[in-house]
Amino acid sequence: MSAALFVIPLWADLLAVGIGALQGAMFAAQFKDRRLDLLGVAIIGISTGFGGGLLRDILLSVDLAPLRSNWYVIVATGAALLGMLLERIFSRLNPLITALDALTIGLFGAIGTTKALALGVPPAPAVFVGVLAAVGGSILRDLLLNLPIALMHVGSLYAVAAVGGAGTLVVLVQFGVDISIAAVVGVALTFGIRVLAVFFKWSLPEQRRIERLPRIPRLGRAR
Amino acid sequence: MDEAIFEIPLWSELLAVGVGALMGALFASRFKDHHLDLLGIAIIGVCTGLGGGVLRDLVLSVPVATFQSNWYLIVAVAASLLGMLLERVFSKLNTLFTVVDALNLGLFAAIGATKGIAFGVPAVPAALLGLLTAVGGSILRDVLMLTPVELLKVGPFYATAAIFGTTTLVTMTTLGLPILPAAITCVVVTFIARMVGFTFGLRLPEQRRLERLPHPSRLRPAKDSDTPPV
C-alpha cells in the first residue's frame, strides 16, 4: 500500500451510514404515489446508507466492508425506520439534515478515494471510485424507487461537491501532503461546496450544444 | 493462463472507449426532456464507454482493468463532453457513426471473449462474456436513463451481431486456431452482421408462443372426423 488508509473509527463510519439511511427514508417518505412498506423503508435505508460503500468495494475487488459487521445493517435499518416514523420532526430540521448529508457525502468520498489510492489505483479512477462511494447510495435509491436519477438532472451541485472534494484530496496526496490532512481538506471542501450550493442555489449549466458552428471562409472567394 | 491474451495497444482500447462514450453522450443528449446537466452527460458517457469492460472484469473476478490507468476516465469524460457539444455536427454524420459503432461493437466483443478464454472460461460462457462486454455499456446507459433497454426490444441486429462475432471466435479457438485471427474474424463478422442488419432492417422475430398445443384428447386413436393438429 502506498498511502496509509484513512481509517476512521467505527462510530464515525456508522454515524455516516445512519445519516445516509435516515435521509433515504425521509426522501422516500415524501412520495405520495409510491408508498413503501416497512421492509421497503429498511431496504431504501440500507441502500442509501451503505450502497455507496458496497459499490466501492465491488469495484475495487475487495471484501465488502459493510458486510463484515452486524452494526451496519442494524444502524442503517434503525435509522431508516426512525426517519420514517419521525418524518414530521425531521423535515423541520431540514437545514440540519442537509448539512449533515453534505458531511456524509464528504466522509464517504474521502473514505472511498483514500481506499482506492491505498490499493494502488491511479488518481483519476480513485476520484471516480470516491465519488461513486459518496453518491452511489442516492443512485441506488433512485433506481429502486424507479425515479429519474436525481444526480444527473439539473440541480444543486451534489456530485460536483463530491468530485471537488475527492479531486482535491488526490491532488494534495500527489504533492506529498499527509493523507489525513488531505482527507480532512477533501471532506471540508465537499461539505462547503454542497452547503453553499444549497444556500446560493448554484447549479451546473444544462446540457448545451454549439448552435452555430464557426463559419470557415471559402477559399478562393472574396468575402 | 494457457493462451496469450489478445493484447491490444492502449491507443486502440482508448479509441474504443472514447467512441463508446461519445455515442453514449450523443444518445443521452437527444433526450431533450430529460434536462441532463453536464455531469449527467459525463456519467452516461463514462458508463457507456467503460461499462462493458467493468462488467466483464467483475464477472471474471479480476481487478477492473479500466481503473488501472488515468487515461480511460480522462478519455471517456472528454469524449462525452465533446459528443454533447457537437451534437449537431455528429447527428449529420449518422451513417459514419453507425459504421464506427459497429466496429466498436466487434472490438469490445473480441476483447471480452478473448479475455474470458485467457482466464480459462469455457467456450460458450466466453462468447457470452464477449457479448456482455460489447453491449454492457448500452444496458447500463438505458438503466441509468430509465429508458427501456434498447437491446431487449425488437430492432435491427445489435446484440445479435455481437453474438455472431463471439460465436465465430470461440468456434475458431475451440478448433485450435490462434487467437489473433479469431479475434479479427470476430470484429469483421460482427461488423458485417451489424451493417447488413442495419441496412436491410434485419431483426430477430418477435417473441411468440405456440397457439395450439397438442390436446390430450387428440392423442386418442384417430377417427375420420378428427382434423389433424396444426
**Owning domain of residue B130:** 10-203
Per-residue pLDDT tens for B69-115? 889 999 999 998 888 887 777 667 777 778 888 888 888 898 888 88
Answer yes or no: do A205 and B37 touch at CB < 8 A: yes
Does residue B164 sit within a domain?
yes
- Total structural domains in chain B? 1
Taking contacts as CB-CB distances below 8 angstroms, the residues of chain A near B64 are 59-61
Cβ contact, residue pair A61, B143, below 8 Å: no
Does the beta carbon of B76 lie under 8 angstroms from any beta carbon of chain A? Answer: no
Q: Which residues in chain A are contacts of B10 at CB distance < 8 A?
A: none
B81 part of a folded domain = yes
- Percentage of the residues of chain A whose pLDDT score is greater than 70: 83
Rounded CA separation B127/B224 (Å): 51
Candidates A207, A210, A212, partner chain B, best to mutate (most B CBs within 10 A): A207
The answer on pLDDT for A219 being more than 60 is no
Residue at B192 is within a domain: yes
Burial of A180 (0-12, 13-18, 19+ CB in 10 A): middle
| pLDDT over threshold 90, residue A216 | no
What percent of chain B is modeled with pLDDT above 70? 85
Amino acid occupying residue A79: A
> For B34-50, what is each residue's pLDDT tens digit?
667 777 788 888 888 99
Query: What is the pTM (predicted TM-score) of this model?
Result: 0.78
* Nearest residue in chain B measured CA to CA from A62: B63
Is the confidence metric ipTM above 0.95 for this complex? no
Taking a contact as any Cβ pair under 8 Å apart, which residues of chain B between 37 and 66 contact chain A? 37-41, 43-44, 46, 54, 58, 61-64, 66
| Inter-residue contact A208 to B85 (CB < 8 Å) | yes
Model pLDDT for residues B137-181, shown as the tens digit of each residue? 888 888 877 777 777 776 778 888 899 999 999 999 888 888 888
Is residue B169 one of the residues assigned to a domain?
Answer: yes
Q: Is the pLDDT of residue A220 over 50?
A: no
pLDDT in tens, A19-59: 888 888 887 777 767 778 888 888 888 888 888 888 888 88
- Amino acid letter for position A197: A
Q: Quickly count: other Cβ atoms within 10 Å of residue B162's Cβ.
A: 31
Q: Select the residue of A147, A153, A205 nearest B34 (Cβ to Cβ).
A: A153
CA terminus-to-terminus distance, chain A: 64
Distance CA A171, CA B201 (A): 50
By percentage, how much of chain B surpasses pLDDT 90? Answer: 11
Residue B229 to residue B211: CA distance in whole angstroms: 11
Nearest CA in chain A to B45: A152
